[in-house]
A and B are shown apart, each in its own frame.
Chain A
Amino acid sequence: MVSGPVAGPSAAGGAAAGGPATDRGGPDGGGGPSRGAALAQGLRAYGLIVRMWVRSTLAYRTSFVMTAVGNFAASGLDFVAIMLMFSQIDTLGGFALPEVALLYGTSSSSLGLADLLLGSMSRLGQRIRDGTLDTLLLRPVPVFAQVAADRFALRRLGRITQGVLVLGWSLPQLDVAWTAGRILLVPLMVLCGAAIYGAVYTAGAAFQFWAQDAAEVQNSFTYGGNAMLQYPPTVFSKELVRGVTFVIPLAFVNWLPALLLLGRPDPLGLPGWVAFLGPAVAGVMGAGAGLAWRYGLRAYRSTGS
């Protein structure tokens, strides 16, 4: 279990970092390399910059260990709250503790992955304000890759570790007849979820091309979404569930596939095949976020602010 999501970065990063890497497609229309070459170039640059940040981080080893542990503990606090709740009750919204732990573990792992790979994109507004985005535009590699890799924070492995541990703890306790398909569904769910969260990070960053102070708004969608997805959908009002299914389709991160895995009906009464739409939803959201990024960068290059 541990190796699955941790080995995942390249795959999830590929989906998230790949789409928008086409910033060259804006005014840089002619003469550029093909889309595939641009993607490869973007990934390579991402890797180069990430390595530099990791080495910078390791220059302060104690500080790194402390912040990683802090990151682990901070995200674990929510789960402690859940366990305290279950010291008083047997089920919450009709879900037993291992089932809630499945929801918690999948969402936390997905968010952790997206946060690790793209989390620092929320600093874009800061970079625009202090003018350092311009230095990224002077380099012969896609801006998206540079912004995504900016301040790559290895300490965020803390959240992933915590999420994966809870997930690993929950799986053997679930009342599920495990088949190859169902086993495969779990890592797929985490990766798709990471891609969906990644799209939210990207869209949030793109939004900052217009509103530089809006970094915290996307927290409502990422951390807020995560706080919601940790609990069973039956807990929330129908309107709220509809909102995260149809408007900002975070429900595809873990709710829909987990309900499928647990053999529970969807509270909105959607047909079962909808749960399989996760990858498609992730793809559409990624493409949308990529477009938003492209237009944002184009707007920045024409207004310079």
Chain B
Amino acid sequence: MRGSAEVLYTAVAAGSFRRYATYRTATVAGVVTNTVFGFIVAYTYIALWHERPHLGGYDQAQAMTFVWTGQALLAVSALMSGGNLDELQERIRTGDIAVDLYRPADLQLWWLAADLGRAGLQLIGRGVVPMAVGALVFPLALPGEALTWCVFLLSVLLAVVVSFALRYLVALASFWLLDGAGLSLISGLACMFFSGMVLPLRVFPGDFGHFVQLLPWASMLQVPADVLLGARTGGALLRGLAFQAGWAVALLALGRLVQRAATRKVVVQGG
């Protein structure tokens, strides 16, 4: 049984990966946009770190690395859009979800697999080029040893899972909300702001700065970026990964609870 389930979810992930691979024009356009914004943000950060060297504990090369990591992960961690889960939300809105609930597959795992497939493709399709362009033009603080890169990829994986778990909750809210668009919007804005996409969380002033680094959104960009640019090593590195994993487990579990309530609702209403 267990083996066949793994085959199923691997197939779902692979299918999603292939599907996103067919959106070539969108990928190219996304890469162009990410690169353009990368340049603009990079220059503003150069000015910022020129005024305040070592702001947030970063030197300038680390700040540049943060910028390009942000552009590379924007699509991967679905910081601006719902990713796959816009589709789930639409299925809930139209009622097609009833069909999915009767499928012999777990709804959450199914969509998680699909989202991981999407993220995998977008890491290659939309992550590599902006990062490479950034590294060519600006001095970046990229790690030399392969192990750090591997840990970074693990951290990105956890970032995607946390991002998924949050978006899954937002999508499931459509079972109760008439118009889920408002919540998606708020969720998207929170994501942009609290992930560090508009400004590294370490630059946020005072206690507010400490507080935002405890929120789940910090897992989605701030932590992986810190892993890559060498701001987290040793114990801090492990704490960072544990922080991500903790939020992932907590939010996935919450998602399961909400999913159970939603299923009951559908069954009671007769689909």
Contact = CB atoms under 8 A, between A and B. Distances in A.
Check whether chain A touches chain B (CB < 8 angstroms): yes
Given A216-B29, A219-B33, A224-B37, A67 B185 contact: yes
B236 interface: no
Interface in B37-53: 37, 39-41, 43-44, 46-48, 51-52
A4 interface: no
Contacts of B193: 77, 80
Nearest to A60: B179
B185 A92 contact: no
Contact of A70 (B32, B46, B185): B185
B181 A67 contact: yes
Interface string A47-90: 00000000000001011001100100110011011001101111
Contacts of B44: 92, 231, 235
A6 interface: no
A91 B51 contact: yes
Contacts of B267: none
A213 B23 CA distance: 10
A81 B199 contact: yes
Q: How large is the interface on A (under 10, 10 to 19, 20 to 34, 35 or more residues)?
A: 35 or more
A135 interface: no
Contacts of B32: 216-217, 220
B48 A224 contact: no
Interface string B1-45: 000000000000000000000000110011011001101110110
Contacts of B185: 66-67, 70, 74
A93 B47 contact: yes
A49 to B, nearest CB: 24
Interface size class of B (residues with CB under 8 A): 20 to 34
A237 interface: yes
A260 interface: no
Interface string A22-66: 000000000000000000000000000000000000001011001
Interface in B50-103: 51-52, 55
Interface string A186-206: 000000000000000000000
A70 B190 CA distance: 11
Contact of B48 (A73, A85, A214, A240): A85
B43 A236 contact: yes
Nearest to A79: B198
B192 interface: yes
A63 B179 contact: yes
A228 interface: yes
Contacts of A90: 51
A227 interface: yes
A84 B189 contact: no
Contacts of A224: 33, 36-37, 40
A215 B30 CA distance: 11
Nearest to A66: B182
B29 A214 contact: yes
B23 to A, nearest CB: 9
Contact of A77 (B33, B37, B189): B189
A227 B39 CA distance: 11
A66 B178 CA distance: 13
A84 B52 contact: no
Nearest to B206: A87
Contacts of B124: none
A148 B55 CA distance: 45
A217 B29 contact: yes
Contact of B181 (A66, A217, A228, A235): A66
A239 to B, nearest CB: 10
B190 to A, nearest CB: 10
A146 B41 CA distance: 36
A84 B30 contact: no
B243 interface: no
Contacts of B48: 85, 88-89, 92
B104 interface: no
B249 interface: no
A70 B205 contact: no
B186 interface: yes
Contacts of B55: 88
A237 B43 CA distance: 8
Contacts of B181: 63, 66-67
B51 A77 contact: no
Given A80-B193, A80-B198, A235-B44, A213 B25 contact: yes
A235 B179 CA distance: 42
6 contacts: A74-B185, A81-B198, A216-B26, A217-B29, A219-B33, A235-B47
Interface of B: 25-26, 29-30, 32-33, 36-37, 39-41, 43-44, 46-48, 51-52, 55, 179, 181-182, 185-186, 188-189, 192-193, 198-199, 203-205
Q: Sorted from nearest, which 9 A-B pairs have the closest CB atoms? A: A216-B29, A213-B25, A70-B185, A66-B182, A81-B198, A235-B47, A89-B51, A220-B36, A224-B36
Given A93-B47, A217-B29, 11 more contacts: A62-B179, A66-B181, A70-B186, A85-B48, A92-B44, A92-B47, A213-B25, A213-B26, A220-B32, A227-B40, A234-B47
